[in-house]
Amino acid sequence: MKPVLLLLFCGKTVVLVLQGVRWLLQGHDVQVVSTIYSTRAASRMVAGQLGMALSADPTPPPTPGSIVLHQYDFVNREADVQQAVTDLLARVKDGQLHVLLDEALFGSNVYGPRNTTLVARLAESVPGLHLWAAGVLHTDIPPSLQPEPLTVPLRCAPSVLREVQPAVGRLTARIHNYSDSGVPAPGDGLRVIRLSHHGNAHRGRWPVECQQCGKEVAAELLRLGVGSGGSSLPNSPTPLSYRDVVIITRSSELQDDIEDDAGRVTSRASGVVRGLRDEGLPVCVLGEQDYRHNRARWERDVDDVAVAATDRVTVTHLDCVHGLERRVVVMLPGRHKETDEGRSDEAIDVDDRLYAVSRCSTQLIMVDVPRRKCVVS
């Protein structure tokens, strides 16, 4: 049997964790593999959840498997592909190898072929390969994998899914549409909250640049009870912490304060970050500029965000946190200077909604931008 590939956008990490726990309880070691920096957080989260599930098992087996996390940089280091093959083959036991690969994105023109090579080499070399990969467009399936489309949304409320369904059917053939779970949802979920980057106090072309948008997002989060020890979400009374919130954007302009080696700020944080802080919210920023200029801080923060160690709101470029899920997700529209060049506003809008919905378990907040500002230069 070929290794299995999972295709879905909402709940796939949960399925990977469940499968990993099953392997561990059967006594198999589980290899959690991150091939690019943007999947680091997701893979650390999967490994962490496997560990928690194992220790919480009331009747653990006498010899459960162990969890091994492998981290590579396929984008910047081609030699890492061979290193990953070598490392994983060294973990084969009795002809078997159990691998979890989240956010595989085989169709990515940067690292997709390298992920495909890794999977093909393992499939050739290990007869007992059990590899579950998730986060894949169904047009980009490597021949060495057997697709198992999972279209039942496991985590999102119906009202949140409605945000994306029409667009998926109309605009893209790259993912399967969601299907009915066959199980009644506990409720329709919450309405999607809409804010607008529009009006006199708003500055800049996109919400990322706008201090006022930061203040208005902060006000909405505080209204929901974030950080107050309570929650005003009708179907979700568990208190909302800052760590339950992620603010996502595709904008390449997002950044925290950029500092030189002496600790002097050479470039101020994005407007939205300043606005959030003005309202007293503790904020962790994971922007592309932070990765370039403050790599050590970025690495520490990704590790921290992966396990929600510090109680902070995360503001992040969507590529920095593939696979992370939070109760409250805020989507800030924007454009990436390089990867969005030549793409239509409509296609970008669909991608934004997919990313936002797939990371949201309870409350979605969309910041709308008037169409006159939605032009890619």
Q: Is 133 in the site for Zn ion (CB under 5 A)?
A: no
Q: Is 357 in the site for Zn ion (CB under 5 A)?
A: no
Q: Is 67 in the site for Zn ion (CB under 5 A)?
A: no
How far is 153 from 179, CA to CA, in rounded Å?
7
Residue number with CB closer to Zn ion (70 or 197): 197
Q: Is 210 in the site for Zn ion (CB under 5 A)?
A: yes
Stretch that binds Zn ion, among 81-89, 176-184, 205-213, 240-248 (CB under 5 A): 205-213
Stretch that binds Zn ion, among 85-93, 186-194, 198-206, 342-350 (CB under 5 A): 198-206
Residue number with CB closer to Zn ion (270 or 294): 270
How far is 240 from 328, CA to CA, in rounded Å?
9
Q: Assign 3-class secondary structure to 167-218.
A: HHHHHCCCCCCCCCCCCCCCCCCCCCEEEECCCCCCCCCCHHHCHHHHHHHH
CA-to-CA separations, 206 to 274, 364, 373, in angstroms, rounded: 15, 19, 8
The answer to whether 324 and 246 are in contact (CB under 8 A) is yes
The one among 12, 114, 202, 312 contacting Zn ion by CB under 5 A: 202
- State the minimum distance, in angstroms, from the CB of residue 173 to Zn ion: 34
Q: Is 213 in the site for Zn ion (CB under 5 A)?
A: yes
Stretch that binds Zn ion, among 93-101, 199-207, 291-299, 327-335 (CB under 5 A): 199-207
How far is 103 from 325, CA to CA, in rounded Å?
13
Q: Is 12 in the site for Zn ion (CB under 5 A)?
A: no
Element (H, E) at 120: helix 112-125
Count, residues near Zn ion per rule CB under 5 A:
5
Residue 261 Cα to chain centre, angstroms: 31
The one among 70, 197, 215, 359 contacting Zn ion by CB under 5 A: 197
- State the minimum distance, in angstroms, from the CB of residue 211 to Zn ion: 8
- State the minimum distance, in angstroms, from the CB of residue 248 to Zn ion: 16
Q: Is 30 in the site for Zn ion (CB under 5 A)?
A: no
Q: Is 114 in the site for Zn ion (CB under 5 A)?
A: no
Length of the chain: 377
Q: Three-class SS of residue 258?
A: strand
Q: Is 215 in the site for Zn ion (CB under 5 A)?
A: no
Calculate the dihedral angle through the C-alpha atoms of 357, 360, 364, 366, rounding to the nearest 10 degrees: -50
- State the minimum distance, in angstroms, from the CB of residue 216 to Zn ion: 7
In the complex, the residues that contact Zn ion under the rule CB under 5 A are 197, 202, 210, 212-213
